[in-house]
Amino acid sequence: MESRTEHDSLGEIAVEADKYWGAQTERSRRNFPIGGGRETMPREIISALALMKKAAAISNHRLSPQRMSEEKAARIVEGCDAILAGELWEHFPLVVWQTGSGTQSNMNVNEVVARYGNLRAGKALLHPNDDVNMSQSSNDTFPTAMHIAAALLLERRLLPSLRALTGAFRALEERYPTLLKCGRTHLQDAVPLRFAQEVSGWRSSLEKDAELITLSLPPLYALALGGTAVGTGLNAPEGFAEAVAREVAAMTALPFVSAPNKFHALTSRDELVFAHGAMKALAGDLMKIANDIRWLGSGPRNGLGELILPENEPGSSIMPGKVNPTQCEAVTMVAVQVMANDVAVGLAASQGNFELNVFMPVLADNFIRSAHLLSDAMDSFRLRCVEGLRPNEARMEENLHRSLMLVTALTPRIGYENAARAAHRALREDITLRDACLALGLLGEEELDELLDPERMV
C-alpha cells in the first residue's frame, strides 16, 4: 500500500497515500484500537465540527483578514461543505474511545479540510492548526459540536417523529369517540372509561414529552466556541465568539448564541444531561404505552384480546399461526437502551475536572444514539403498529359487562360495605353483579338497570 510521510510535533509518520488525514489522526488511529473500528465518532459530531469550522473561517476572515485571507477562507469553506455533503466520510476513521476532550477528532477534521483545500488549490495553502483551527481549541470546538449536533437532532429528527406518533394516536382516539371498555388499575378490573379516553392518556403523555424536549433546546443553543483552551478566549480575536454563533445560527436557522460564561461552557455538560433526561422521560412513556398495547392485544383467545394488532410477520418457529406484538417489543427494548444510555450520559457529565470535561466523546455517542433509536423506533411503531390498531369491540363489551367494579356506581345508594358484599357474592357464585344485588335485596331491577349503565359512569 502506498503511503506518504506526514509530520507533527512528535515527528514523522506514514499515512496511506489516498487518505486525507494527517499525522495526529494517524497516531490516534494506531493508539486506540478499541471497539474493532466499529464505534467511530458519530457523523453528527463530524458534521457539526465542519459546520462550526466553516463559520469560524468566515468570521476569522472578517475579523483578522491579515491572517485569514479570502483564499484560505474560501478553501476551508469548500472543504467543510464537502464534509457536510457527505463526500469525505472515508477520511474519518477515529473511534469514540480516544482522548476525552475529543482533540483527535477535532484534528481529524482540521487535517482533512486542510489537505482537501491544498489539493484543490494545488499548493500548500492551509495548515490544519494555524488556519483550519484558527481562534479555536479542541476544548471549545468539541463542546460546541456537541450542542450543535444535539439541537439539530432534536429539532429535525426526534421531535418530528414524536409529533407524527402523537398524531397517529390522536387519529385513533378520534375514530372511536364513544366506545366503552373496562378500565384497569393494579392489573385488576376497575370502573369503565371510553377507549378514546384511554388513548388520550397515551397521546397526552407524548405531547408532554414533546414539551419537555422543547424546553431542553434553549440551553443547547449556547455555544462554547470562543473560550479556546480554558475559557479565557486566548488567541481568539475580540467578537469572534459572537460572530461564529451568528454564522452557525444563519446556517442552521436555529437561534444559536455565544455562551455567556465560557468557563461553564467548557467544563459542564448539564445542558446535555437535561436534554437526555427529557429523552429518558419519553422512553419511559413509550415503554408504558407499548406495554399497554401488547397487554391489551394479548391472546388472541386466552388473553385480554381487546386490541387487534397488525400481523407483520410469523411469531414462532414452532407454533404455526402465532403472531407476536413485535413492534411493541422493539419499542420497549429501545426504551431500556435509552435508560441505560442516560446513566452513561450522567456519569460522563460528572467528570468535569477543573476547566474541562474529559468524557465528552462517550457522552456525545450515547446522546446521539438515544436520539436516533427513539426516532427510528417511533417511526416504525407508528407505521407498523399504531396506524393499524383496531379495537376488538365485542371483547371490550364482554369484558366491560363482566367487570365487578361496576359496583362502584352503587356505593352512593347502598354504601361501600353493601356494595362490597354484592361484588364478593357475584365473584364467589359466578353470577352477575345485578343478580347478586337482587339476591341480597339491596336494590330493585329498575334502579339497578339505571345505576349499572356503563354509559352513565364515564
Helix 360-384 / helix 138-153 crossing angle, nearest 10 deg: 10
Which cell numbers in the block locate residue 409?
356506581
Q: What is the DSSP letter of 131?
A: I
- Pull the grid cell for residue 356: 474541562
Q: Where are the alpha helices (DSSP H) in 70-194?
A: 70-84, 103-121, 138-153, 159-175
The residue type of 192 is P
186 is catalytic: yes
Cell of 111: 487535517
Contacts 24+ apart (CB under 8 A), 296-305: 297/325, 297/328, 304/395, 304/399, 305/392, 305/395
Question: What residues form DSSP beta bridges with 257?
Answer: 222
> What helix, strand, coil percent values describe the chain, rounded to 5?
65, 10, 30
Whether 316 is catalytic is yes
- The packing angle between helices 43-63 and 240-252, to 10°, is 130
Find the DSSP H helices in 125-239: 138-153, 159-175, 195-215, 217-220
Which residue out of 3, 7, 316, 424 is catalytically annotated?
316
Question: Under 8 Å CB-to-CB from 228, ≥6 apart: which residues?
Answer: 135, 136, 137, 139, 140, 234, 235, 236
Active-site positions read 186, 316
